[in-house]
Chains A and B, each alone.
Chain A
Amino acid sequence: MKYLTTTLCFFCILVMSAQISAREITLTTELKNYSGDGAYLAIYLTNAEGQYQETLWVAGQKSKYYKHLTGWARASGLRVSEYDGLTGASVSSGKTLSVTLDLADAYIDRGFQLKVDTSVEDMRDNRNDVVVPLTTEGAGKLSAGRGYVKAFTYAF
């Protein structure tokens, strides 16, 4: 009985510690009604100085166009290991992209920034279409983009 209780305690601690170190975050990006093809987006994390940390999602499947997501492309070096398993379809005009993932707590309220670069074929490339600090307070607040992004929010 004692053995069982100890094991259960250990298990609970293990589960809780796993939950504490990472938090589920949903990133919602709504696009404007522009006239053009599907937009390519790169959502990534930088530190306060703007240095690249991690790629969260890349919308758009043809890697030959990734260079147009200029800020992210330069920062990530377009290494496949940076975006492997983190890519999907491009986002059409007026549509909303929702990405839900586990994010390390170490990134939250520590000066890190969420950035979105966007690009549409034969149209302008937007480096830093969205730049928002990643804080608990900022969760749920709408941020307007400078390019194709109409509104960007994140929620825990």
Chain B
Amino acid sequence: MKKAKTETETKGKIMKNKLVIMLIASCLVSGTALADDDCTDPVSQWQPRDQLRQMIEDKGWKVKQIKVDDGCYKVKGVDRKGNRIKATFFPASLKIRELKIKFDQSADASDYLDLATPMTSESNKQKNKPKVTID
């Protein structure tokens, strides 16, 4: 009788341990999932916002807001054609991480997609790239 009681006790302990392990594992998994959305560049290596602003404005975009979120620079603005954009950049390298563009029905998406131009003409352009010198 006593033996049977101790057996059920150990089984219960094992179950409890399993639950705890599963809980920890799920926390770790969700932790990595969350970390995937963050930028992890060390703050000492961050480039100034003004540099990012200049870089974007050189592209012909207009910047409305630059904020820091999840360790990344997040930019709201409009592109050359007036389409609304939301972009995320790595703060150290200023490389783009995510880009969302909202096109209106009458919008011009040619800056991003040039479906009307066949691939062959593009490859011709590459092949016929001019040779240029400045003396």
Question: For the complex, what is the distance from the CA of A91 to the CA of B129, rounded to whole Å?
Answer: 19
B117 within 8 A of A: yes
Bin the interface of chain B by size: 10 to 19
Q: Cβ of B132: which chain A residues have Cβ within 8 Å of it?
A: 57, 88, 97-100
In the assembled complex, the CB of A44 is this many whole angstroms from the nearest CB of chain B, namely 13
Q: Return chain B residues, CB-CB under 8 Å to A79.
A: 110
Bound Cα distance from A81 to B109, whole angstroms: 11
How far does the Cβ of B68 sit from chain A's closest Cβ, in whole Å? 26
**B residues less than 8 Å from A131 (CB atoms):** none
Sorting the interface of chain A by its residue count into under 10, 10 to 19, 20 to 34 or 35 or more gives 20 to 34
Evaluate whether A57 and B130 lie within 8 angstroms (CB atoms) in the complex, with A64-B58, A81-B117, A98-B135 already known.
yes
B134 within 8 A of A: yes
Specify which of A92, A97, A102 is in contact with B128 (CB 8 Å cutoff).
A102
Report how far A88 CA is from B131 CA in the complex, Å: 10
B130 pairs with A64, CB closer than 8 A: no
Contacts of A81 in B (CB 8 A): 110, 114, 117
Decide if B6 is an interface residue (CB 8 Å cutoff).
Answer: no
Mask of B97-135 contacts with A, CB within 8 angstroms, 1/0: 000000000000011001001000000011011111111
Q: What 1/0 flags go to B65-101 for Cβ under 8 Å of A?
A: 0000000000000001000000000000000000000
A37-94 interface with B by 8 A CB criterion: 56-57, 59, 62-64, 78-81, 84-86, 88-89, 91-92
Interfacial chain A residues near B110, Cβ < 8 Å: 79-81
Q: Are the C-beta atoms of B58 and A85 separated by less than 8 Å?
A: no
Chain A residues with a Cβ under 8 A of chain B: 22, 56-57, 59, 62-64, 78-81, 84-86, 88-89, 91-92, 95-102
B residues with CB within 8 A of A: 57-60, 80, 110-111, 114, 117, 125-126, 128-135
Beyond A85-B129, A95-B134, 18 extra complex contacts between A and B, CB < 8 Å: A22-B128, A56-B130, A59-B134, A64-B58, A64-B60, A80-B111, A81-B114, A85-B126, A91-B134, A97-B132, A97-B133, A98-B133, A98-B134, A98-B135, A99-B130, A99-B131, A100-B131, A101-B129
